[in-house]
Structure 1
C-alpha cells in the first residue's frame, strides 16, 4: 500500500529550493561526553576532562584540566575497558583520539574486532600492531611464531605525533546470521580512514581479534575502547547505526523523447518516442546520444519512518559551472511532489532532506540533455539515499566497463623529489606551485608565483594521474598522504610595527627562481621590497619534523621584516615549550636559544597569529623553526 508524504514535507515545499544547497546528510548520533552515562559502569581509570596534555618527548608526563568533552584513560589507576550502552550491528563511526608517547589502545567494534590505536609516529614500515591496523587474531594451538594471524597493517602510516589530536572514521559491516543463528557472512571493515587517508578497505574478519572481550560472534555488540594498555584520550564520538533492510527502487519504466529542450515541463505535453522497462537508472533508449529527454517512473520502498537524504547527479552536467553553456536539467518527484531540481548552475548535482513515513511511494525522475561536453562524457544518472537505519546507497546504479587507468604516482624513497604543477588549496586551483617530497614521508607545497606556503602532509607523496592521463583534464597533482592546509598567506612581510595587519599578498614580492642544494632540496630565492630572501625546508628527526629556514639580507630596506610562523583558531604554548596550533592540529617548535621572542596576537577576524621579528646581524638575518605533526 502506498503512503502519503508526511505533512512536514508538504509544509516545506515552497521553501525547499532555497534550502537545497544547504541540505546535509542524516546527522550522526553524538555520544555524550559531559559524563559517563552513555557507557556501562567502568573502572576509575576512565574520567571526563576538559583538556589533556601528553608530552611529545616522554611518557608519564601527561596532565589534564577539569571540564567536559574528553574521556581519558589512566591505566595506572585500574585497567578496565570502556563499553557503550549502545549496541550496534552495521556502524559508521567517527572520533578523535590522542596518544601518549609509546602508548597503546584500541577500538573494538561490537567488543570483538579491533582497530589498533598506537603511537606510530614516524614508523616507516607499519605492521598489524601499528595505528590504524586491523589487529591480528590469536590461537594458542597454532605453532610458535604463528599464533597471531590475519592481522592487516595500514596501507600507509599517516599517524601524528603524541599529544596531537587525530581523527579516525570506520565503516563496519557486522556478521550475518540465518534464522538458526548460524553465521552466513563474516564481519567486514568496509573502510577505515585515518587523518583523511583511506588505510583499510573491504577487509573481511573471520572472527574476534586478539584481546576481544567476547569470543563468540553475534549480530550486535557494544563499542569498546581498550583500557588495559596505555593512556589515550577520546573526544567527538559520533555514529550512525544501520539496520539490514534497504531502500529499494523497483518497477522502473522509461519514457524517452528526442530533440532539444528548455525545461522538463515540456515533456508533459509530448508523446514519448518509445517506452521500455528498465532496471537501472540510465537513459537506455536508442537514439541520439546528446539530444534527448526522459521520464523514469517507479516505486521507492522506505523501510522506516524518518528523515531521508536524497542526492541526485546528472553526470553530463559538469561540476565546473558555465552559465553560458546550458546542456541539461532534471527534477525528482516523490508521491507527485517535487523535492529536487537540477540546473546548469547546480553543477549537475543537488540534494535535499525529506521526511517520509515507512511504506512505498511512486517516484518520477525527469531530465533532458541538449549536447555533450568532452570533459563530461557520461550520460549516467546517480540517485543516492540515506536515512534512519539506512546507509548512504546509490540506487540501481548502472555498472560500466571503463578503460582501466593505472595510478601515475611519485614517491620519495632515497632523496627529495620535486614536482611542478597545479594544486588545489582551500577550493582554489594554484597554477604555479612546486611540491617537494622527502624520504621521511614529509611533504610540502609552495606557490612560487606568490611566495605562499600552502600545505604539508605526512605519508606518500603525489598522485599525478590527473596531470598526465589522457588530456590531463584537471591537471592537478594530488597529495597521497594526510594533508594539513595552511593559511596560504606570505610567510614574510614588511610591517610598520608588530600591530599592523598581516597582508593577504606581498605587492613587493618578486620570484627569482630556486637553486638546488647538494641534497637535492630547492632553495627558493626572491626579493621583498629591497630585501633579498633565501628560503628552504628540510625534513629532520627522521622525517618527524619539517624545518623551515629564512636567510634575509635587508639591503636598503627600512621597514621591519616579520615572519608569520603560524595562524589558526587558537595558538597555545604547551608545558614543554611547543606551540599547539588549531586545537592541537600540529605543533610549532622554536629554537631554544632564539634571541627574538615570539609574539602571539589576535586578528580582526578573532583568529590567532604567531609572529617572529627578523633581526639582521652584519647585514644578514636568519630565522628557523620546525613544524611537528
Structure 2
C-alpha cells in the first residue's frame, strides 16, 4: 500500500561529491574494545592493551602497554582459547585492523565457520592457501594423503605488511541460504575481500566450513571467531554492517520522454511527452537523438525497514570535471512527492542525501534533461544507489551494457626495474610530471620530477596503464596495482636555519636536471637546490621487503647560517621502537637508519611529527641513506 507523505520522517544531509571524493555511507556498528563485554567469556590469553610491539626481526620479542582499545592474543600462559563475539550475523560487511607477530598464525572466521587467514606472509612471492588473505582450505580425513585439504583460495597477490605493522581487512560475506525445511539451497560466498586497499578475492563460493572451524554444521547465523590457539595476534577496530535478505526494490517504472533544449526540469510540468513507455532499468531508453532530451521516470520504491537511508544519484552525462558556465543537464529525485535530491551541472552529475524513511511502498519520480553530450561522458544511464538498515549499498535497476571489450593494460616488474612516466593521483590531485618505478621485489614508488617530491610507495604488482593507453587515454592516469601508502608530497631536502625551522611546502630553488640510469636499470635523479647539487636514488633490498633511499649532496656555496636537512618521514606520530626502528603514522610503516646517528623528531605547528636528519658534508659531499620497511 502507498504510505502518505506524513509517514516519512525526512532528515536531510547533503554531500558535495566529486570524482575523487569518497563515497558517502551509513555508519558501521563498532565492537567495544574498552572491555570484553561484546565477546563471550573466553580464556586468559585474550587481553586488552593500549599499545603493542612485535619485533620485526624475531618472534617472541613482543610487549604490550596497559590500557584499552587493542585485543592481544597472549599465549605465554596455558590458555589458548578462541574468541567469539556475542553478535551473530548472516550477510555482513566487516572491517578490522590486525597486526601479526613474526612467524605467527591466526584467522578470522565468519559465522565461526569460514576462515580468512591471518598469517605473517611478509615478502612471500607466490602466496598459497595458508598465507595471509587466503580463504583457508576445507579438510577431509577420508580423502587420499596429500589431498585431504581442498578448496583453499590464495589471495590474488600478496600485499601483506611486515610484522609489527597494522594491516586492514574489508570483507563482504554472503551467508548460506536455507529453505523453509532448513535445507541449504545456496553456499556461503565471499563477495569481496580487500586487504590493505587491494581486492584479493571476488565472488568465491565456500561449500562448507573450512578447516578448524568452531562448528561443522551450517546455519543462517553465527558469531565471529578469532582463532586463539596458533599464535600471537593483535586486533583493533572491528566494525560491521549486518544485512537482512529483503531488498529495496524499484517496480512499475514508466518513462515519459520529451525532446528539445531545456533550462530546468520544472519546464516538464507544462509539456506533453513525445512518447511514454514502460521500462525496467534506469536509463533514457526512448528512441531519437542522443542529445536534446528530457525525461520523467515514475514508479514505486519499496522500503523494507524503517530507519536511515543513504540515496546517491548520478546522471552519467554530466562529468565530474565541468565548466559551470556551460550547462548540459540537471535532474531531481522525489519520493512521495518530497524533493530529496537535486543535481545541477556544477554538482558534477552526483548528489547524495541521508533520509529517514518508514517501511512501506512509496511513489518515486525522477526528472532530468540533457542538452548536449561530451565525448568523455557518453552514457545516458542513470545510477540510483541506496544503502539502508539491513541493506547493503546497491545500485537499483542498473542497465547492463556491452562496453567495448578491453583487457587490463598492466605493466609489471618481474626480473628488472621498470620505469613509467605519466600522470598520478596523489591525495586527490593530479601530478603530471611523475615517474613511477617498479621493482622486481614488489616495492614500488613514484616521484614528482617537476617538484622534487617523493609521492608514494606501494607493495604488490606495479601499474595499470589502461587509463593512459586505451582509446583516448581519457584520464591519462597510471594506477598502482598494489597496496599504496601516500606520503606527504613535500620536498625531501631543504635549506634550514636550524632544526626548529619550519619545513617548506615547496622549494623555489629546485631545478630538475633529469636522471641517469645505473647498471641495475634504476634511475638516479639529478637536481640542484640553490647552490647544492643532489643525486637521489632508490633500491629494493632484502628481497623487496625494504626500499633504500639515498641522497648524495654537494652543498656548494653554503648559505650563511643555513644547512641542508633531509626530512625522512612525517605523520600523525613517530615512535622510536625497542629494536631501533621508527614507527611512522600509527605503525603504517617503519624507518630503518644505518649506523648510530640519531635523527631529530619534532612536532610541527599542525601538531604532526617529522623525522629529520642534517646532511653534514665532508670534502664537499654529504650522504643520507635510510630504508622504508612495510
> TM-score band (shorter)?
over 0.9
> In 2, Cα distance between the equivalents of 1:192 and 1:5?
40
State the match for 1:585 in structure 2: 588
> In 2, Cα distance between the equivalents of 1:561 and 1:402?
54
> In 2, Cα distance between the equivalents of 1:6 and 1:274?
33
Shift of residue 402, structure 1, vs aligned partner = 1.1
Question: What stretches of structure 2 of length at least 5 have no aligned partner?
Answer: none
The answer (yes or no) to whether the contact 1:20–1:352 under 8 Å persists in 2 is no
State the match for 2:233 in structure 1: 232
Matched position secondary structure for 2:549: strand
In the TM superposition, what are the counterparts of 1:206-285 in structure 2 within 5 Å? Answer: 206-285=207-286
State the match for 2:405 in structure 1: 404
Matched, 1:75 2:78: no
The answer (yes or no) to whether the contact 1:386–1:392 under 8 Å persists in 2 is yes
The answer (yes or no) to whether the contact 2:15–2:352 under 8 Å persists in 1 is no
State the match for 1:44 in structure 2: 44
Which moves more between the two structures, 74-83 or 353-362? 74-83
> Aligned to 2:568, which of 565, 569, 588?
565
Matched position secondary structure for 1:163: coil
> In 1, Cα distance between the equivalents of 2:126 and 2:120?
14
Matched position secondary structure for 2:543: coil
Matched, 1:385 2:386: yes
> In 1, Cα distance between the equivalents of 2:628 and 2:98?
20
The answer (yes or no) to whether the contact 2:434–2:446 under 8 Å persists in 1 is yes
The answer (yes or no) to whether the contact 1:5–1:356 under 8 Å persists in 2 is no
The answer (yes or no) to whether the contact 1:23–1:352 under 8 Å persists in 2 is no
Which moves more between the two structures, 18-27 or 250-259? 18-27
**Residues 18 and 584 of structure 1, relative CA distance in 2, 3 Å threshold:** closer
Shift of residue 592, structure 1, vs aligned partner = 2.6
**Residues 68 and 6 of structure 1, relative CA distance in 2, 3 Å threshold:** farther
Deviations 1:343-379 (A, max 9, x none): 1111111111110111101110000000000000000
Shift of residue 542, structure 1, vs aligned partner = 0.6
Question: What stretches of structure 1 of length at least 5 have no aligned partner?
Answer: none
State the match for 1:445 in structure 2: 446
- What is the total number of aligned residue pairs between the two structures? 624
Matched position secondary structure for 1:61: coil
The answer (yes or no) to whether the contact 2:615–2:624 under 8 Å persists in 1 is yes
The answer (yes or no) to whether the contact 2:550–2:623 under 8 Å persists in 1 is yes
> In 2, Cα distance between the equivalents of 1:18 and 1:211?
45
> In 1, Cα distance between the equivalents of 2:526 and 2:5?
64
> In 2, Cα distance between the equivalents of 1:473 and 1:325?
20
In the TM superposition, what are the counterparts of 1:168-567 in structure 2 within 5 Å? Answer: 168-558=169-559, 559-567=562-570
Matched position secondary structure for 2:567: strand
Shift of residue 44, structure 1, vs aligned partner = 0.3
> In 2, Cα distance between the equivalents of 1:553 and 1:589?
24
Matched position secondary structure for 1:267: helix
> In 2, Cα distance between the equivalents of 1:305 and 1:98?
38
Deviations 1:574-593 (A, max 9, x none): 11111111100001111133
Matched, 1:575 2:566: no
Matched position secondary structure for 1:542: helix
The answer (yes or no) to whether the contact 1:290–1:369 under 8 Å persists in 2 is yes
The answer (yes or no) to whether the contact 1:555–1:619 under 8 Å persists in 2 is yes
Which moves more between the two structures, 71-80 or 138-147? 71-80
Shift of residue 134, structure 1, vs aligned partner = 0.2
Which moves more between the two structures, 1-10 or 583-592? 1-10
**Residues 6 and 96 of structure 1, relative CA distance in 2, 3 Å threshold:** farther
Matched position secondary structure for 1:565: strand
Deviations 1:432-491 (A, max 9, x none): 100000000000000011100000000000011111000111111000000000000100
Deviations 1:491-526 (A, max 9, x none): 000111111110111111111111111000000011
Matched, 1:160 2:151: no
State the match for 1:148 in structure 2: 149
Shift of residue 618, structure 1, vs aligned partner = 1.1
Shift of residue 600, structure 1, vs aligned partner = 0.8
Matched position secondary structure for 2:397: coil
**Residues 59 and 555 of structure 1, relative CA distance in 2, 3 Å threshold:** same
Q: Give the structure-2-normalised TM-score.
A: 0.97
Matched position secondary structure for 2:267: helix
The answer (yes or no) to whether the contact 1:407–1:463 under 8 Å persists in 2 is yes
Which moves more between the two structures, 37-46 or 74-83? 74-83
> In 1, Cα distance between the equivalents of 2:309 and 2:556?
64
Q: Give the structure-1-normalised TM-score.
A: 0.98
